[in-house]
Amino acid sequence: MNKVVIALAFITLTLTALYSQSQRVVLLEEHTSTTCGPCAAANPGIDATLASLGIDKVVAIKYHMNWPAPGNDPWYFNNVSENTTRRTYYGVNSIPQVRIDGTQTSTGGFAPVVNSRYALPSPYDISMTSDLANHTVTVKVKATATPPAGNKYLRIGVLEKIYNTNSPFPNGETEIAYAMLDMLPDGLGTAIDLAVGDSVEYTLPYNTTLVNMHPPTSLSTLLAVVAFMQNDANKEVLQAAYHESGVNIGTNVAGALINNSQTATLSGFMENKSLSPIDLAIGINVNVPAGWNVTAQTDQGAAIPVNNGTATVTLDGMETLNYTITADPQGNPGGFSLQADVSLASDPNISESSTYSVSTNDVDILVVDDDGGATYESYFVEELNQMPYVYGVVSINSGDLAGADLGSIEVIFWNCANVEPTINDADRALLSQFLDNGGKLFLNGVDIAYELADPTSPYYNFTTLAFFNDYLHATYVKRQYTFLVVDGIPGDPITDGMATVGLYGGTGASTINFATNDFANQINPGDADAAPIFSFFNNPTDYAGIRAIHNGSGGQGRVVLTTFGFETLADENIRALFADRVVTWLKSTTGIEDDRLAGPATRF
């Protein structure tokens, strides 16, 4: 008898292992229109919440309606029948309406509903592939647990993931996300009745006229698809999935800091996410420093032109092709950033780029690109091009930054922009050593002070506070300072005469932006070795930046700290003057109270 019980238990455990429920992906459906004012008010919050939750947790599809007046929503008229089918299915008579897994919910504050649904296992697993050449989507559905009773349908929607325009729609919207273009095979879907452990696969064509309502602009998203299983007995969505087809590009080794007798080897990749071959054009574009030699080739040995057009390569279905870029300084100091530009061979407008950086460790000024993959360092590089210094650029992601490499570098410009987090443990250790050895640092970015010195910050601890106080020579006041204008300090060697300096708009990058919760922090000079350089407009004792002298064990270092990124300065003439004076002060040997002003920068 015991043997029978044990055997039954074993069988039960085995079946549980074979047929365990799947991780749920939640579906958000919205009925909306480009003529609907309340929709325009709701959509930015909806899209921001979707982005924060992530596509591994929740996917979205939006059906467009032909009301209110003037009723000319282009996505509605692109596919009247299937937008109408999904409207009728839910009985929608007012918009905007949002549903999570088939149940109507608020257009705002729906994250807890998503999280609650995500915690429930699903009885289905859905996977997808696509063939761009043959215009088909293949969807496989497997029942990983016993499905509930009711008529279940597989529904598939091809989406326009994002569309931007400079001409606002009637409701003022300029960005449309997750708009349904086509449903496969139609808005009703395909009835599926699977027993646990069974699976089914469908390959369905999509309508290229509907799907190409707007030509794609992103190489990585030539096609976007949502599939979901829905129980028509109660309209509950039981599982969802998202698929993109196109070409992913990226970096394997994004940068290097080398001595001038070494050769840097950078590398990147192109990944075809379609089942069909894709022809691509790739070229390297770079301002090569004098005396340097830069070459590139694929891992199959094909040469990639440098500043001389493009090479055409064919990626088979689901193939990944790697390439390398070799930079040899041949004994010359300096550095550069370069772009590997990849496009469809048939349409150079559908393109994306990967950015790389190389520097020797004997430059006068090193720009550290720590902006999370953006290119905001280009704002300071533009100013360095007007100065008589040898400079280099290196990505924080290169993995090559070490204290020993910085021994010959006098000035570091560390650019964080609005990345989160800004500087981590390794960065602080590196900068502490650099400053203790007499290095000169310009550190700038959103929320640096908050992250290091505010006890409510998730990155705060006693070591971050010690670095902020002892190395940046600052104290913290508050995070969200709601001003977009700062003033220079009269008599200050860096900012004297800089009045009403804008932090938003103009020719700047607008990385201080209340709409995205990016504020400048308020700080104070932390000791007698520090002095303010910027105050907030009309508040002359509320500071947004300081300069300080750091008396290190190996030399006298210097720090300039701003709680906003250099790139957000709205006026190009202010950027030029500020950059010139920052470098001049960092390279000087005067005391903290010296009031001699640097000469003005001139832009031709």
Q: Each residue of 128-181: pLDDT tens digit?
A: 999 999 999 999 999 999 999 999 999 999 999 999 999 999 999 999 999 999
- What does the alpha-carbon distance between residue 66 and residue 80 come to, in Å, rounded to a whole number? 9
| Domain coverage including residue 333 | 247-359
**Residues 200 and 338 grouped into a single domain:** no
Could you give the count of Cα atoms lying within 13 Å of 50 in the half-sphere of its Cβ?
A: 24
The pair of structure tokens assigned to 404 is 């020993």
**Residues 212 and 269 grouped into a single domain:** no
Reduced to 3 states (helix: H, G, I; strand: E, B; else coil), residue 94 is coil
410 phi and psi angles, rounded to 5 deg: -85, -45
**Residues 232 and 291 grouped into a single domain:** no
**Residues 252 and 347 grouped into a single domain:** yes
**Residues 26 and 88 grouped into a single domain:** yes
546 phi and psi angles, rounded to 5 deg: -140, 165
- What does the alpha-carbon distance between residue 311 and residue 333 come to, in Å, rounded to a whole number? 30
In tens, the pLDDT along 343-371 reads 999 999 999 999 898 999 999 999 998 88
pLDDT band at 595 (very low <50, low <70, confident <90, very high): very low
Q: Provide the 8-state DSSP code for 122.
A: B
In tens, the pLDDT along 384-411 reads 999 999 999 888 765 556 666 788 899 9
- What does the alpha-carbon distance between residue 222 and residue 275 come to, in Å, rounded to a whole number? 13
What pLDDT is recorded for position 365? 96
**What is the full DSSP assignment across 505-548?**
STTS----BGGGTB-EEEEEE-STTEEEEEEETTEEEEEEEEEE
Q: Judge whether 117 lies within some domain.
A: yes
Question: What share of the chain has pLDDT > 90, as a percent?
Answer: 83
Identity of the residue numbered 375: T
Q: Which of 308, 340, 359 is the last residue of a domain?
A: 359
**Residues 201 and 256 grouped into a single domain:** no
**Residues 494 and 402 grouped into a single domain:** yes
What pLDDT is recorded for position 397? 62
Q: Which of 290, 324, 359 is the last residue of a domain?
A: 359
| Least confident segment among 23-27, 90-94, 324-328, 420-424 | 420-424
Whole-number average pLDDT of the chain: 92
Q: Quick check: bond before 96 cis, omega within 30?
A: yes
In tens, the pLDDT along 427-479 reads 999 999 999 999 999 999 999 999 999 999 999 999 999 999 999 999 999 99
Q: Judge whether 15 lies within some domain.
A: no
Give Dmax (Cα) for the chain: 97
Q: Judge whether 50 lies within some domain.
A: yes
Provide the CATH number for the domain around residue 113.
2.60.40.10
Q: Judge whether 5 lies within some domain.
A: no
In tens, the pLDDT along 473-528 reads 999 999 988 889 999 999 999 999 999 999 999 999 999 888 777 889 999 999 99
462 phi and psi angles, rounded to 5 deg: -70, -25
**What is the full DSSP assignment across 23-71?**
PP-EEEEEEE-TT-HHHHHHHHHHHHHHHHH-TTTEEEEEEE---STT-
| Least confident segment among 30-44, 245-259, 296-310, 447-461 | 245-259
Which residue did the predictor score with more confidence, 577 or 337? 577
**Residues 111 and 215 grouped into a single domain:** yes
Nearest residue to 561 (alpha-carbon basis) of 422, 444, 424, 464: 444
Type and span of the H or E element at 453? helix 448-453
**Residues 241 and 251 grouped into a single domain:** no
Vertex 568 angle, CA 566 and 570, to 5°: 110
Q: Provide the 8-state DSSP code for 409.
A: -
Q: Which of 334, 359, 384 is the last residue of a domain?
A: 359
Nearest residue to 104 (alpha-carbon basis) of 69, 157, 93, 183: 93
Beta strands (DSSP E) in 113-212 are 124-131, 136-143, 152-164, 175-184, 190-191, 199-205
- 334-338 mean pLDDT: 88
What pLDDT is recorded for position 252? 92
pLDDT band at 602 (very low <50, low <70, confident <90, very high): very low
Q: How many CB atoms lie within 10 A of CB 425?
A: 12
Q: Judge whether 8 lies within some domain.
A: no
Type and span of the H or E element at 83? helix 80-90
- What does the alpha-carbon distance between residue 123 and residue 33 come to, in Å, rounded to a whole number? 33
Q: Judge whether 392 lies within some domain.
A: yes
| Total of domains in the chain | 3
**Residues 311 and 412 grouped into a single domain:** no
Q: Judge whether 6 lies within some domain.
A: no
For the whole prediction, is pTM greater than 0.95? no
Burial 267-296 (b: 16+ CB within 10 A, else e): bbbbbbbbbbebebbbbbebeebeebebeb
Name the packing angle between helices 462-470 and 425-436 (round to 10°).
30
Q: Judge whether 379 lies within some domain.
A: yes
Using only C-alpha atoms, the chain has a radius of gyration, in whole angstroms, of 28
**Residues 137 and 276 grouped into a single domain:** no
pLDDT band at 5 (very low <50, low <70, confident <90, very high): very low
**Residues 28 and 137 grouped into a single domain:** yes
Provide the CATH number for the domain around residue 419.
3.40.50.880
- 210-215 mean pLDDT: 96
The answer to whether residue 4 scores a pLDDT higher than 50 is: no
